[in-house]
Structure 1
Amino acid sequence: MWMRLLLAVPILFMTNAVHLSFETGLPGLNIANILFGLVLVCVLAGGKKYKPLEGRGAITIALLLLFAALTFGFLVAQLSMPIDLMDDITYLKNLIFYPLLYFLYRRCGQDLKGTRQLIIFVMIVAAVAGIEAVREGLDYGFGAYSETRRAAGPFGVDYSSANRAGVFYAMFLPMFAAMALFFRKQPMWRLGALAGCAILAVAIMATYSRQSYLIALVGVALLLVRRNVVLAMIIGLLMIPAIGLLPESVTERVAETEQQDAVGGEKLDVSTASRFEIWGGAVQMWQEHPLGVGLNRFKRHIGDYVPAYAGYDAHSIYFLLLAETSLFGIGALLYLFWRCLRMGVGFVRAVPADDHEAKALSLGFVLMVIATGLGNVYGSPFFEGNVMSNFWILCGLMEHYIALKKRGAQAVEPVPAMAHAQRIAQRFPLAARIAPGRYTRPD
């Protein structure tokens, strides 16, 4: 029980690090590192009890390949533009640190009940984070849209963190939606999942993150199609007139994507147009530096290609890795997403159709992976700890959970045959006498 509580602490802390952080006084060491180290020591001290149920993890090779690409980018940076070695080492450490949570939580050593509780706790933390954004949205009001009145929840102190908050909520929305759609004979859980859907949907609206609107719609639409194509079409038709019920500020924000110029022609808004210009600069950067400009060097180089956006972030993890780590980095990232997706599909196929809980969690996880990939197209929160840490934790927990399910199914497989033999022995006593090894009467 104490280990389960210890494993729950990082789940709560990582998402709420902005609220719960404090200085350790040691350079490069924060509370997240300390918590990780504490859990790691307990896992290692537990020995075989915390050994992974399956050998190599489904995404182990993909993660190691990504770590190699990041290390390659670090070396390129030191050779091409050495600036501050300790700062670059700390940057590399932060990029690698949070994905390591996957390796830790797949070794959690919990039984099925404990693993399920940790997965549900991840969902609760996401819902509570959504409530904070809903509260901010209500405080700001859903009147006219204003860039400085966007909810960021626990992901930052002002509106500048609203996009990453929206991505986080859009990532977890499919998990709640899958529970609401596929949980059967569990009305209380379905009710709780519906409440989670409502909280995260309003939280996404409060962030005014247009990419998150799209991600949420794609995730829910795919789940509805998976549940019932006819149902999906009916709900889709009902949603068309329901758009008019959305707050005016939300529809105003979506409409900002395209604006009219002075002569009435259509043009993209400044935010969208700036991203296309920055991405074009990133491609030019890679073309001039086929090995990449090096890790943590994008902001220092982008002004050479797009002077108006000197010092800006890439606003896309894909273009960022292309520019900094070349094709090696972006290839490793795409392979990692592919392996995560394959892992989720494997979860779906591994559980029997009548195990509605495991089926719902597995389907939700698949859509969560897709949402995570989409969430990094228009931004780059992939290495943000408070956004991605619980994703990596969930990867490890789901792998452990499905492995437990597989073992449970194998353990109970012979039981029906034995029960059938005992029923034959009860009804035909002579059969038990003729073949005592096959038909044994129960005591």
Structure 2
Amino acid sequence: MSFTVVLIYTMFIVLFIGALWKPIFGVLGYLSVYILYNPDIWWGATFEHYLPRPSLTAVLFLIAGAFIHKGKLNWTFSRREIELYLFLGTVWFVSLFFGIGIEDNNWIYLMKMTKLFVFIFFFIRVVNSSNHYKLVIWMFILGAALLAYHAHGLSSGYFADGRLEEIGGIDFSESNGFACFQALAMTFLGVQFLRDSMWKKVMYVIGIAFMLDTIILTQSRAVFLGIVMAVPYVLFRASPKYRKQVYVSVILGGILFFMLADVKFFGRMDTIQQQFENQIVNTQEEEVGRIDFWKASILMFMDHPLGVGVKNFEKMVPYYDPNNIGRDAHNTYVLCYSEIGILGIVLFLIIIGETFLQIRRIRLAVKDTPHEEDIRLHTFAITTVLIIYLLGYMTTHSILYTEILWILLAMPICLENATKKLLESENQTTLNSEEATS
């Protein structure tokens, strides 16, 4: 067994067992497995021999730890949390009663979604303080930094057509998913850069440079699009206290980007406009493009308004577009209304809308309090990340059944619970001091 396998195996086991002492370690253990573990890579295959179901093991330890410490957890339910479980119920309901049939692959995804939402349930219970929320963010940052460092030492075998592939957890093994996760961590680290001391800023800049270069190695158009969409929000919605730092950071980040990017990267980014123009003038008559998928999905939706069931788009799309031999929808929203139907897409859009309303509610709750700047930076970061995903990655790829999407949508629930806890503690401290002086 190699040193890498021993190190990662030890980290997983320590976090799993640590969940029995403090449930937050169970959350971090699950996230570490999700970020790093892939049975299809060399060390993952070795690891699978000793622990074949690490994510399930992580969930079981998390559940055990949560019940051991149930008195310290938040067991209240918010409307937003209930909406998440309603979506899971809709996925099951549509797939069982209105789908075109359920085979082994359909069951796999139904069970994957169920396991994910079990984790989400305990994730919301456990991550109920500001410190726990920060630990989750740092798990993302450290996991992405480790993968970025690993990416720069890989052989050419990990590159397909010049693009970095097959690194990180299952959801990140495809280049766009991996690049978007790097953008997520880069955003969180960039916000951390704003608040910390100068010597820490130097370390953060090195990490951001590694992550940015890793994104360039993936040549991901989806993430490039998402970052472009997020920049206006970053520039116009930054806190007045940090606005100058943000402007300077964006400019320096742009300079660093142009220094690191090569001709291949810019050539691939040029294809975004080229493909769009080709679709408009119908010059790709034999090649099936994304707009062809989406046109076929509308016809499918008209025939199956309640959806065709989870993971059935690829089976059905050839009936509506003979040129499509059964490819993915290449759009999360298209996949949602195609497979989960009208109920699914309406609920999904409500969840997204409510997420941003919740973030706004958090900002208003901390206005003119000692915690305003700290919490506003958290809302600033999570909003930026959501924009990158919602307007970039999700418009060009189908990630409806990807865990990171639902974890991100659940994070504002955790942040609001943590904020309420901070404000209650602040009010109690003020009340105690007033009683002491009177």
Distance 2:273 2:203 in 1: 38
1:279 matched to which residue of 2?
294
Tell me if 1:5 matches 2:25.
Answer: yes
Tell me if 1:371 matches 2:388.
Answer: yes
Contact 2:308 2:339 in 1 (8 A): yes
SS of 2:350 mapped into structure 1: helix
Matches within 5 A, 1:425-436: none
Matches within 5 A, 1:43-122: 43-52=66-75, 55-57=76-78, 59-77=80-98, 81-84=100-103, 87-108=105-126, 112-122=130-140
Amino acid at match of 2:418: Y
Quick one: higher RCO (CA 8 Å, sep 6+), 1 or 2? 1
Tell me if 1:154 matches 2:168.
Answer: yes
Matches within 5 A, 1:3-402: 3=22, 4-18=24-38, 20=44, 30-52=53-75, 55-57=76-78, 59-77=80-98, 81-84=100-103, 87-108=105-126, 112-136=130-154, 140=156, 147-155=161-169, 161-181=174-194, 183=195, 186-227=197-238, 245=259, 246-259=261-274, 274-352=289-367, 354-355=370-371, 356-374=373-391, 375-385=393-403, 387-388=404-405, 391=408, 394-395=411-412, 397-402=414-419
SS of 1:98 mapped into structure 2: helix
Distance change in 2, residues 1:392/1:128 (3 Å):
farther
- Flag structure 2 segments of 5+ consecutive residues without an equivalent: 1-17
1:419-442, CA deviations, whole angstroms, 9 ceiling, x for partnerless residues? 8x5xxxxxxxxxxxxxxxx4xxxx
Contact 1:304 1:310 in 2 (8 A): no
Distance change in 2, residues 1:413/1:341 (3 Å):
same
1:433 matched to which residue of 2?
none
Distance 1:272 1:8 in 2: 44
Amino acid at match of 1:251: F
- Flag structure 1 segments of 5+ consecutive residues without an equivalent: 422-437, 439-443
Q: CA deviation at 1:11?
A: 1.7
Distance 2:285 2:361 in 1: 42
Deviates more, 1:240-249 or 1:290-299: 240-249
Distance change in 2, residues 1:234/1:32 (3 Å):
closer
Q: CA deviation at 1:330?
A: 1.0
1:311-333, CA deviations, whole angstroms, 9 ceiling, x for partnerless residues? 21111111112111221111111
Contact 1:259 1:269 in 2 (8 A): no
1:432 matched to which residue of 2?
none
1:284-311, CA deviations, whole angstroms, 9 ceiling, x for partnerless residues? 1111222222222111111112222222
Amino acid at match of 1:147: D
Distance change in 2, residues 1:148/1:283 (3 Å):
farther
SS of 2:292 mapped into structure 1: helix
Distance 1:237 1:365 in 2: 21
Contact 1:10 1:36 in 2 (8 A): yes
SS of 2:423 mapped into structure 1: helix
Distance 2:286 2:250 in 1: 29
1:250-295, CA deviations, whole angstroms, 9 ceiling, x for partnerless residues? 11111123449xx9x9888899961111111111111122222222
Distance 1:39 1:344 in 2: 27
SS of 1:307 mapped into structure 2: coil
Distance 1:165 1:364 in 2: 19
Contact 1:152 1:161 in 2 (8 A): yes
Q: CA deviation at 1:83?
A: 4.9
SS of 1:224 mapped into structure 2: helix
SS of 2:178 mapped into structure 1: helix
SS of 1:313 mapped into structure 2: coil
SS of 2:361 mapped into structure 1: helix
Amino acid at match of 1:82: G
SS of 2:323 mapped into structure 1: helix
Larger radius of gyration: 1
User: How large is the RMSD of aligned CA atoms in angstroms?
Assistant: 3.9
**TM-score, normalising length from structure 1?**
0.77
Distance change in 2, residues 1:271/1:218 (3 Å):
farther
Distance change in 2, residues 1:95/1:176 (3 Å):
same
Distance 2:256 2:285 in 1: 29
1:22-48, CA deviations, whole angstroms, 9 ceiling, x for partnerless residues? 65999xx93312211221122123232
**TM-score, normalising length from structure 2?**
0.78
Contact 1:337 1:369 in 2 (8 A): no
Distance 1:281 1:76 in 2: 23
Q: CA deviation at 1:201?
A: 1.7
Distance change in 2, residues 1:226/1:112 (3 Å):
closer
SS of 1:256 mapped into structure 2: helix
